[in-house]
Amino acid sequence: MFEIGIFLLSCIVGFAICVGLFKILFKNSISFVFGVLLSLDVATVAFLAFFVGFKGIIHLTWGLPLLLLLVIISVYIFHKKVTLYLKLTSNNLSLISQGEGDLTKKLTYSGSNEIGDMSNNFNSFVGCLASIINQMKVSLSSLSEISSDLASSSEESSASLEEINKNIENMKLKVENLDSEIFTFKNSLSSVNNFIMKVTEKILVQSKEVNDSSSSIEEMTASIKNVNLTIEGKLIGIDKLQKIASAGEKEMNETIDLIKKITDSTNLIMEMLKVINNITAQTNLLAMNAAIEAAHAGEYGKGFSVVADEIRKLAENTSSNSKNISISLKTMIDYIHISEGSANNTGEYFRNIRKEIQEVSNGMFEIKNAMQEILFGGTQILNSLSSLNKTSYELKDSSTQIDTNIVKINDSINKLTVISKETKNGMEEVSVGIAELYKTVQLVADSGVKNSADIDSINQLVRKFKT
């Protein structure tokens, strides 16, 4: 067992030494891996051979390092013959894959072995790749222009479709507004129709009232004519009455003048009565004196006493008659004054009556003129009512025509409503189609933009290859 341990340790140490040498010589190249694997195989074979027999263990122990040395030399030769050309190929591929991608680089190995074949095949591949890259450059240039045009056209189409979509939306809004206006107009038309029906009814009522008014005004005109004739007759009577009142006023003025003269005469009579009363007083005084003297005369004065008595009686009778006359004259004067006042009042009444008659006459003239104006106005009103009646019938006919036209307009509005709904539905369908088309065009535009970007990227990558 001790010998087995020493041999195993020797194999491990030898394997480690080989790995270290390969690491120093080849670093991480494929030769390093190949050498490690080969050393591992040799060590494994030696260890297995150890178990075959123990007699040749000393010769095997010395032969193992020699075997490992031979392996190292073989790997080194392999590295020189194979790995260097593989590294050159790797460098060329690195130049192609990195930096400018120089496809003009060629492998210079011209052997007739597998590496030579690989070199020739690699050079052929690079030549074909350069030809393809050149064709791709030409195609990418044209494709870039097409992609740019496609992206531009797609964007323009997208913008146009968006504008069309906006226009369709605006048209939809306008169609909706049109529907609303049609609905409002239909309601308004219904209101107008109801209003015209009411107006027609009122026109019929008005026509009847106009006919009634015409009859009433004709009767009123006839009455006004009769009143006018009556006023003319009354004016003649008032003129006569005014003349009579003027004559009565004149006669009353003359009566007042006569009463004034009688009053003046009574004043003279009163003065005369005063004189008579004075005479009576003096006569009475004379009779008294005569009676006194007769009394003084005694028998001789009896005759004179009789005379004195007669004079006294005469004076008393005269005084009594004067008093009665005075009382009668005063009563008569009072009556005359009363008559004068009554005459003055009557004269004033006559003057007032004449003025009132004049005012009545003026009023009658004014009434006559007013009646004539009313008659003229009534005639004009009759003419106007006749025209109004004619206009009412014309309005009735016009309202009938308007009602017929409204029915036609209502039918047109119903048709227009149907057309508007169909237009709205068509707009919605077109809007849906435009929206789908817009999405498609937008997708195409986005794809075109992405395609253009990808082509630019590919073009930039292709341009890196030097052909």
Q: Domains in the chain and their CATH numbers?
A: 1-98 (no CATH), 165-457 (1.10.287.950)
Three-state secondary-structure class, residue 433: helix
Beta bridge partners of 102: 466
Is 58's pLDDT higher than 50? no
Is 57's pLDDT higher than 50? no
Query: Who contacts 379 (Cβ-Cβ below 8 Å, separation ≥6)?
Result: 221
Q: What is the pLDDT of residues 364-398, one digit of tens each?
A: 778 778 777 777 777 777 777 677 677 777 777 77
The percent of residues above 90 in pLDDT, for the chain, comes to 0
Average the pLDDT over each of 30-39, 48-57, 67-76, 298-307 and give the range with the smallest value: 48-57
- pTM for the whole structure: 0.33
Query: Who contacts 61 (Cβ-Cβ below 8 Å, separation ≥6)?
Result: 6, 7, 10
223 Cα distance to chain centroid: 58
Is 14's pLDDT higher than 50? yes
Pair of tokens at residue 457: 């990227």
What is the number of other CB atoms lying within 10 angstroms of the CB of residue 325? 18
Tell me the average pLDDT of the chain. 71
Confidence of residue 224 (pLDDT cuts 50, 70, 90): confident
Handedness of CA 282, 283, 284, 285 (dihedral sign): positive
Average the pLDDT over each of 26-30, 186-190, 415-419, 435-439 and give the range with the smallest value: 26-30
Q: What is the pLDDT of residues 169-204, one digit of tens each?
A: 777 777 777 777 777 777 776 777 777 777 777 777
* Range 383-389, long-range pairs (CB < 8 A, 24+ positions): 385/210, 385/213, 385/214, 385/217, 386/214, 388/206, 388/210, 389/207, 389/210, 389/211, 389/214
**Residue 418: Cβ-neighbour burial (10 angstroms; 0-12, 13-18, 19+):** exposed
Whole-angstrom distance, CA of residue 436 vs CA of residue 459? 33
What pLDDT score does 55 carry?
45
Looking at residue 329, its amino acid is L
pLDDT greater at residue 352 or residue 7: 352
Looking at residue 127, its amino acid is G
Beta bridge partners of 466: 102
In terms of Cα–Cα distance, which of 380, 391, 385, 376 is closest to 215? 385
